[in-house]
Copies of this chain bind each other. A is one copy, B any other.
Amino acid sequence: MSESKGIAYCHGQFMPIEEASVPILDPAFHKSDVVFDAVTVCDGAFFRLDDHMERFYASCEHVRLTPPLPDAQIRSIMAQCAHRAGFTESIVFVLCTRGRYAGGAAFGDPRTAENELIAYAVPFFTIVAEPKMKSGAHLWIAQNRRAPDAAINQRCKNFNRMDLTAAHFEALDAGADQPVLLSTDGYVTEGPGFNVWIIRDGKALTPGDNLLEGITRKTVFDLCQDIGLEAEATDLKAEDLENAGEVFISSSAGGVVPVVRVNDKPIGNGAPGITTGRLSDLYWAKRADGWHSIPVADLLEPEEEQAASA
């Protein structure tokens, strides 16, 4: 096991993650002008890297950012981060930042900026603390609403998380693990870093609007097909969660995670749901089988080539 806290690629160089930083005058900080994606590495292999990269480029395009390096080199840098950190279990982040531009904060022209790439690998982490991954999480429907797509397109993975953080405080104050945010119209959207699902009338249901379309959410649609369970994106209200037979969340940070309480109501009999368990087991079994996996080692360029192109 490595003791590394992570390796970053930042300002064109690899470095210990503790040394990687963003200048305070960079719009990536003072305008949160940056998009990102996060890919898991388990047993030394990326999961659904193609899907994550496709979504990353869609996020970039939406806010008119252009990654400054070709795709193959970005993937290689991401692999290098995990490899150099010695991680076989990791979450690897890739970011595209606006970069600085002439004229500065007020009347500078962001169209002239040279966009920058940051990547980093950190040890694998889960969306709730380890014991709750099995015993089930407690979700809290926050009063603070999720910013609507008309203002901040949530299909674009971004760091404008003030709404998520306010909701997180509400959840913690209530003794819950994580918040779920409603849209300004009152429909369930998502939580910080995860999508939410219910099992009702023999169907798996998840919201479809004003949210990040998680790669694990996509994976759950695949898994439902595998086990012959109908799955559908549809509008859900807070009470649909409270009254569901089962509730679970999907996240790269842990896969399919049972939820046993929503607000003050236990879900079902208060234990993790049976279908949730089947989906979670299948998720990890298929990953162990190499489903949609690409070994980190396959993406490493020779050190010299990497150094020359960096």
> Chain A interface (Cβ within 8 Å of chain B)?
6, 8, 10, 17-18, 20-25, 27-33, 63-64, 98, 103-107, 109-111, 118, 120, 122, 125-129, 144-148, 150-152, 156, 158-166, 168-169, 172, 177-178, 184, 193, 253
Contacts and interface: CB of A to CB of B under 8 A. Distances in A.
Contacts of A6: 25
A190 B159 CA distance: 22
Contacts of A158: 162
Copies in the complex: 2
A31 B111 contact: no
Contacts of A172: 109-111
Given A98-B165, A107-B128, 9 more contacts: A24-B120, A25-B122, A31-B164, A106-B253, A107-B178, A145-B148, A148-B148, A148-B184, A160-B161
B128 A169 contact: no
Nearest to A146: B151
Contacts of A152: 147, 160, 162-163
A161 B178 CA distance: 25
Contacts of A18: 23, 25
B25 A23 contact: no
A187 to B, nearest CB: 13
Contacts of A177: 107
Contacts of A104: 125
Contacts of A31: 159, 161-162, 164-165
Contacts of A33: 161-162, 165
Contacts of A24: 8, 10, 17, 20-22, 118, 120
A240 to B, nearest CB: 21
A129 B148 contact: no
5 contacts: A21-B24, A63-B162, A106-B126, A145-B151, A160-B162
A98 to B, nearest CB: 8
Most chain B CB atoms below 10 A, which of A18, A98, A152, A166: A152
A161 to B, nearest CB: 4
A106 B22 CA distance: 21
Nearest to A127: B106
Contact of A151 (B109, B147, B159): B147
A23 B23 contact: no
Contacts of A178: 107
A209 to B, nearest CB: 14
B28 A169 contact: no
A144 B150 contact: yes
A32 B159 contact: yes
B29 A28 contact: yes
Contacts of A165: 27, 31, 33, 63, 98, 110
